[in-house]
C-alpha cells in the first residue's frame, strides 16, 4: 500500500505541475495485480498453471497474484494448500467450492471469473492456453467487454505481448490499449515454472469465494456427460522432456506400439501428426500441431513425418529435433538438427536394440 | 430452426507466408486466399444438419472487405441458402478483433434468431480461437467448442457435443440455442460442384455495415511489429543409427 501511495503522490505532483490528467490514471493503472486462473489435478496445481505464475512474474516482478481454484471435495483443498506455497508472488489463494465446478464447463466458470474480477479489480488476468483456458478465457473476457491476447509466448512490458500467428510462421508483437483487466492466455512451453523452492515462511492465505452470484440459470444450460481418455503411463505430452512422434508412415495402430516401446525406454511421451490421428492409428489427444498440442521438449524425434507447416507449428521450438523419413526432400529435414533418410522401421528396430531400458 | 454460420476469408492454408520487410505485417499482397478450413467444416456441418431435417435454413455471414464476398459465394455454392456480408475494411495497425466480430454476429443472431450458430474454432491467420466463445457469452448461450461430433435432438431442443480436449474426448450436453465451434475431425467438407457454383450466383447476399447493426468496432490492440520466428541453424543428415545415438549423447547431450 505504501508503494501505491507513493506512486499516486508522484503522479499527483506531475498533475499539479501541469501534466495531463491522465498521468494519475496511468500511475494507478501501473499498479499490477494479477488473477491467475489455475487448474488442478490429483490434489496439485497443474504444471501449466505454474507456467501461468511464471508469466505473472514476467508481467511485473512485484506482481501481487491471487490464484483461483475451483472444484469440489478434498482434492480441491489439497490443491489449494499446494497453491498457497507454490510461488513467492502468490498473495492469496481463492477457492470456489461447489459441485457446479466439479467439471470444467465454460458457462459457470466464466461467471465465476467475472465475479472474482469485479470484486478484486485485478489489472491482469492470466490463464494457461490449455483446452480449459482456451474454452474459458474468451468467454469471460467478453462478459467483461475486454479483448484478451491469446497464446502469448513472451511478455516485454506489462501490456506488450508476443504471440505466434500464421501457424507460428510469424510472431506478432501487440500492445493492449484497452481498459483493465488486461487478459491473456499463455503458452506453457514459453514460461518455465520457477524451480527455486520457496522459503517456509511464505504461505499465502486461502479464502473461500462468495458464490452467491451463481444463479439457477448459471448452470442449467449445459451439462457434463463424460470424458474418454487413453489409459497410459506415458508422461504428459505437454510437459515431457522427450517426445517421440509418428506420422502417416507408421501405417497402423499396431506399429505405434513400436514407438511406445521406444518411448518407454526414453521416458518419453508419444505424439502424432494429424494424418496419423485421422487414419485412426492413435487418439486425438496425441496430435501435435497448430490446432493440436504445442510442445517444446529437449528432444523431439519424428518418425515418418513429412513436416507440414501445421505440424511444425506444434514442435518447432523443441531444443533438438531428429527426423527419420525415407523421403530426402521431406520438409521436416529443414527444421531437423539430425536426420536419417531411410526406412523408419529399420531405424526404429535398431534404436530399440541399442538403447538400454530405462532404469 | 435456422443455422447461422460465420466464415472468414484467410490466406490459404498451404501458403508459406512471408513477413514484410518493413515488419508491419505478413505479406498478403498477391497470395492465394480461401475460406478458413475450420469455417468450411462449419458450413458442412450446418448443411448436414439441414439435410438431416434438424434445420430449415442455413445462413452464411462474414465480416470483411469487398473481396470477402468470395467466401460467401463459396458457402452458397456449397449449399447455404443465403448470406450476409458485413462490410469492414481492414487496418493492419489496428486489427479487427474477435470481440468486435462477436458483437457483429450477436447483432445478426438477434435479427435472425437461429437455433445454432456454428463457427470454426480458430482462423488460421491470427490463430486467436476466441470468437465463438465470445459470441456465446454475449448471447448468454451455452458453448460447445472444438466439436468433433454434434447430435441435435429437435424434440428436447438439445445438442450433444463431443469435444477434443487435452485429456481426450469430452461429451457435454447443451440447451439450444447454442454456439458450436468446429474442430478438424467433425466432418470432411464437400466440394462445391460447378452446377452449384452457377446456382449460387443467384442466391442473395445482403450487405450491411457495423453501424447499421449498432455495433461499435473498437480495437483495443495495436500491432507494434511482426517478425519472422527465430531461424534454426541447419541440421545434418547422418548415415547410421550409431552416429545418431552418439550425437544425441555427446554433442546435443539430450540422451
Question: Whole-number mean pLDDT of chain B?
Answer: 95
Nearest chain A residue (CA) to B23: A172
| Backbone phi, psi, residue A335, to 5° | -110, -10
The pLDDT of residue A76 is 97
Contact B227 A221 (CB under 8 A): no
Classify B67 as helix, strand or coil: helix
The residue length of chain A stands at 359
Contact A225 B160 (CB under 8 A): yes
The pTM is what?
A: 0.91
Please identify which residue in the block is written with the cell numbers 491467475: A36
Our CA-based measurement puts residue A69 at a distance from the nearest CA of chain B, in whole angstroms, of: 19
Contact B238 A339 (CB under 8 A): yes
Cell of B136: 456465446
Comparing CB atoms, the residue among B136, B169, B236 nearest residue A139 is B136
Per-residue confidence at B54, pLDDT binned at 50, 70, 90? very high
**Cα–Cα distance measured from residue A61 to residue A32, given in angstroms and rounded to the nearest whole number:** 9
The pLDDT of residue A263 is 95
Per-residue confidence at B92, pLDDT binned at 50, 70, 90? confident
The pLDDT of residue A267 is 93
Q: Which helix (H) or strand (E) holds B162?
A: strand B158-165
**Cα–Cα distance measured from residue A50 to residue A126, given in angstroms and rounded to the nearest whole number:** 11
Per-residue pLDDT of chain A (359 residues; tens, 9 = 90+): 556 565 655 655 554 544 444 555 455 546 899 999 999 999 999 999 999 999 999 999 999 999 999 999 999 999 999 999 999 999 999 999 999 999 999 999 999 999 999 999 999 999 999 999 999 999 999 999 999 999 999 999 999 999 999 999 999 999 999 999 999 999 999 999 876 655 555 799 999 999 998 876 656 899 999 999 887 888 889 889 999 999 999 999 999 999 999 999 999 999 999 999 999 999 999 999 998 999 999 999 999 999 999 999 999 999 999 999 999 999 999 999 999 999 999 999 999 999 988 76
**Cα–Cα distance measured from residue B243 to residue A207, given in angstroms and rounded to the nearest whole number:** 57
The pLDDT of residue A16 is 52
**Cα–Cα distance measured from residue B86 to residue B101, given in angstroms and rounded to the nearest whole number:** 10
Our CA-based measurement puts residue B108 at a distance from the nearest CA of chain A, in whole angstroms, of: 17
Residues from chain B contacting residue A137 (CB–CB below 8 Å): 133
Sign of the CA dihedral running A247, A250, A253, A256: negative
Beta bridge partners of B86: B63, B208
User: How many inter-chain contacts (A to B, CB under 8 Å) are there?
Assistant: 248
Our CA-based measurement puts residue B40 at a distance from the nearest CA of chain A, in whole angstroms, of: 15
**Cα–Cα distance measured from residue A38 to residue A204, given in angstroms and rounded to the nearest whole number:** 15
The pLDDT of residue A5 is 60
Residues from chain B contacting residue A107 (CB–CB below 8 Å): 142-143
* Cα atoms in the Cβ-side hemisphere of radius 13 Å centred on A168: 21
Comparing CB atoms, the residue among B142, B225, B228 nearest residue A173 is B225
Which comes out higher in pLDDT, residue A24 or B92? B92
Our CA-based measurement puts residue A219 at a distance from the nearest CA of chain B, in whole angstroms, of: 10
Nearest chain A residue (CA) to B125: A166
The pLDDT of residue B98 is 97
Contact B236 A223 (CB under 8 A): no
The pLDDT of residue A358 is 79
**Cα–Cα distance measured from residue B102 to residue A257, given in angstroms and rounded to the nearest whole number:** 44
Neighbours of B212 (CB within 10 A): 11
Cell of A224: 457434463
Q: Which helix (H) or strand (E) holds A8?
A: helix A2-16
Please identify which residue in the block is written with the cell numbers 455495415: B209
Contact A227 B169 (CB under 8 A): yes
Classify A316 as helix, strand or coil: coil
DSSP conformational letter for B250: I
User: B91 pLDDT exceeds 90?
Assistant: no
Contact B242 A242 (CB under 8 A): no
In the predicted model, what is the mean pLDDT of residues B183-202? 92
Our CA-based measurement puts residue A143 at a distance from the nearest CA of chain B, in whole angstroms, of: 6
Residues from chain A contacting residue B10 (CB–CB below 8 Å): none
Comparing CB atoms, the residue among A140, A165, A283 nearest residue B127 is A165
* pLDDT digits 0-9 by tens, B118-177: 999 999 999 999 999 999 999 999 999 999 999 999 999 999 999 999 989 999 999 999
Neighbours of B198 (CB within 10 A): 10
Q: How far is CA A305 from CA A131, A259, B89, B122, in A?
A: 25, 13, 40, 24
By C-alpha distance, which of B28, B31, B78, B89 is closest to B50?
Answer: B78
Our CA-based measurement puts residue A199 at a distance from the nearest CA of chain B, in whole angstroms, of: 32
Amino acid at each position: 500500500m505504501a508503494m501505491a501511495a507513493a506512486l499516486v503522490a508522484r503522479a499527483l505532483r506531475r498533475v499539479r505541475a501541469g501534466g495531463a490528467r491522465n498521468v494519475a490514471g496511468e500511475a494507478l493503472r501501473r499498479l499490477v495485480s494479477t488473477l491467475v486462473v489455475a487448474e488442478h489435478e490429483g490434489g496439485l496445481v497443474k504444471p501449466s498453471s505454474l507456467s501461468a505464475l511464471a508469466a505473472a512474474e514476467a508481467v511485473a516482478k512485484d506482481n501481487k497474484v491471487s490464484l483461483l481454484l475451483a472444484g469440489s471435495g478434498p482434492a480441491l483443498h489439497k490443491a489449494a494448500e499446494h497453491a498457497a506455497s507454490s510461488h513467492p508472488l502468490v498473495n492469496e489463494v481463492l477457492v470456489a467450492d461447489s459441485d457446479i465446478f466439479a467439471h470444467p464447463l465454460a458457462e459457470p466458470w466464466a461467471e465465476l471469473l467475472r465475479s472474482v474480477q469485479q470484486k478484486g479489480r485485478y489489472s491482469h488476468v492470466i490463464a494457461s492456453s490449455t483446452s480449459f483456458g482456451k474454452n474459458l478465457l474468451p468467454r469471460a473476457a467478453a462478459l467483461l467487454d475486454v479483448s484478451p491476447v491469446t497464446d502469448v509466448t513472451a511478455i516485454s512490458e506489462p501490456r506488450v505481448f508476443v504471440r505466434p500467428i500464421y501457424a507460428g510462421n510469424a510472431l506478432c508483437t501487440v500492445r493492449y490499449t484497452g481498459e483493465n483487466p488486461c487478459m491473456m492466455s499463455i503458452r506453457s512451453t514459453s514460461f518455465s515454472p520457477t524451480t527455486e523452492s520457496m522459503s517456509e515462511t511464505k504461505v499465502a492465505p486461502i479464502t473461500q469465494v462468495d458464490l452467491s452470484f451463481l444463479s439457477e440459470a448459471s448452470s442449467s444450460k449445459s451439462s457434463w456427460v463424460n470424458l474418454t481418455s487413453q489409459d497410459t503411463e506415458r508422461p504428459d505430452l505437454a510437459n515431457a522432456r522427450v517426445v517421440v512422434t509418428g506420422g502417416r508412415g507408421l501405417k497402423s495402430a499396431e506399429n505405434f506400439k513400436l514407438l511406445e516401446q521406444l518411448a518407454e525406454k526414453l521416458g518419453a511421451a508419444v505424439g502424432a501428426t494429424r494424418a496419423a490421428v485421422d487414419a485412426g492409428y492413435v487418439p486425438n489427444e496425441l496430435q501435435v500441431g497448430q490446432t493440436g498440442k504445442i510442445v517444446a521438449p529437449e528432444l523431439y524425434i519424428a518418425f515418418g513425418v513429412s513436416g507440414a507447416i501445421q505440424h511444425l507449428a506444434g514442435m518447432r521450438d523443441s531444443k533438438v529435433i531428429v527426423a527419420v523419413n525415407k523421403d530426402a526432400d521431406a520438409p521436416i529435414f529443414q527444421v531437423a538438427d539430425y536426420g536419417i533418410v531411410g526406412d523408419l522401421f529399420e531405424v526404429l528396430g535398431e534404436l530399440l536394440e541399442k538403447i538400454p531400458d530405462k532404469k | 430452426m435456422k443455422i447461422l454460420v460465420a466464415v472468414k476469408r484467410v490466406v490459404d492454408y498451404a501458403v508459406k507466408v512471408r513477413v514484410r520487410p518493413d515488419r508491419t505485417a505478413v505479406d498478403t499482397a498477391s497470395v492465394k486466399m480461401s475460406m478458413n478450413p475450420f469455417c468450411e467444416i462449419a458450413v458442412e456441418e450446418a448443411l448436414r444438419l439441414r439435410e438431416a431435417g434438424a434445420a430449415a435454413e442455413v445462413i452464411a455471414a462474414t465480416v470483411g472487405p469487398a473481396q470477402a464476398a468470395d467466401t460467401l459465394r463459396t458457402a452458397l455454392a456449397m449449399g447455404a441458402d443465403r448470406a450476409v456480408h458485413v462490410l469492414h475494411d481492414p487496418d493492419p495497425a489496428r486489427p479487427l478483433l474477435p470481440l468486435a466480430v462477436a458483437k457483429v454476429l450477436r447483432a445478426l443472431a438477434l435479427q435472425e434468431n437461429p437455433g445454432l450458430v456454428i463457427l470454426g474454432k480458430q482462423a488460421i491467420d491470427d490463430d486467436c480461437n476466441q470468437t465463438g466463445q465470445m459470441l456465446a457469452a454475449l448471447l448468454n448461450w451455452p458453448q460447445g467448442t472444438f466439436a468433433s461430433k454434434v447430435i441435435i435432438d429437435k424434440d428436447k431442443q438439445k445438442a450433444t457435443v463431443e469435444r477434443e480436449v487435452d485429456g481426450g474426448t469430452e461429451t457435454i450436453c447443451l440447451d439450444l440455442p447454442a454456439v458450436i465451434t468446429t474442430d478438424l475431425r467433425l466432418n470432411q467438407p464437400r466440394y462445391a460442384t460447378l452446377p452449384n457454383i452457377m446456382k449460387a450466383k443467384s442466391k442473395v447476399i445482403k450487405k450491411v455495415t457495423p453501424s447499421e447493426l449498432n455495433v461499435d468496432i473498437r480495437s483495443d490492440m495495436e500491432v507494434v511489429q511482426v517478425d519472422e520466428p527465430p531461424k534454426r541453424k541447419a541440421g545434418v543428415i547422418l548415415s547410421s543409427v550409431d552416429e545418431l545415438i552418439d550425437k544425441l549423447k555427446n554433442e546435443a547431450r539430450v540422451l
